[in-house]
Amino acid sequence: MQIAMTVNGEQVTRDAEPRVLLVHFIREVLGLTGTHTGCDTSNCGVCVVLMDGKPVKSCTVLAAMAAGHDVRTVEGLAKNGTLDPVQQGFMEEHGLQCGFCTPGMMLTARALLDSNPHPDDHQIREAISGQICRCTGYATIVRSVHWAANHAAEEVPG
């Protein structure tokens, strides 16, 4: 079937079987391998992308179900060569080690900051509680999100 959606602001239309999961559509059909795949069972959260601005586990959404929706992946975080404050924050505060969980963590952080620009520790931990990091122990991830909150990008019109 033809599947059309917006990915990182660009309209894409591709042919794919209805059973193709959004994560595989993104990685294999579109070639955007920044979105990772881990547990396959909706538990680890490395496959998180934003759908209409909300984090979803893309291993548990059909590409067909995402048709017509606005999808954002880690490749869509930086704008015009400038890193999103969340990405910068993960660099500044060592929010990653191996990087496997990082794309999902950063997208959830972006969605959190969009709805709550100054979250406290608890709100950050709650937001990422569906995502597993085997490296950092989460403390540096929480600090990275605070860094981003304290360095919010100036709104650039357009």
Partner 1 sequence: MQIPAAFDYARADSVEHALELLEQHGPESRLIAGGHSLLPMMKLRLARPEWLVDINDLHELDFISEDAEVLRIGALTRHATLLESDVIARLFAIITDAEHVIADPVVRNRGTIGGSLCQADPAEDLSTVCHVLSAEVVIRGRSGERTLSMADLHRGPYETAVAQDEILTEIRLPVRPRFGSAYEKVERRVGDWAIVAAGAAVSLAGDGSIEQARVGLTAVGLDSGTVTRAEEALRGGRPSEELFVEAARLAGEDCSPDSDQRGPVDYKRHLADELTRRVLRRACRRAAEQGAEQTCRLP
Is the distance from CB of 131 to CB of 141 less than 8 angstroms? no
Q: Considering only 4-12, 59-67, 93-101, 143-151, which stretch makes contact with partner 1 by CB under 8 A? A: 59-67
Site string for partner 1, 107-146 (x = CB under 8 A): -x-----------------xx-xxx---------------
Report the residue from 42, 82, 116, 150 that binds partner 1 according to the rule CB under 8 A: 42
Is the distance from CB of 116 to CB of 33 less than 8 angstroms? no
Is the distance from CB of 135 to CB of 90 less than 8 angstroms? no
Round to the nearest angstrom and report the end-to-end CA distance of the chain. 34
123, β-bridge pairs: none
Q: What residues make contact with ligand FAD under the rule CB under 6 A? A: 42-43
Q: What residues make contact with ligand FES under the rule CB under 6 A? A: 37-40, 42-47, 57, 59, 96-102, 133-136
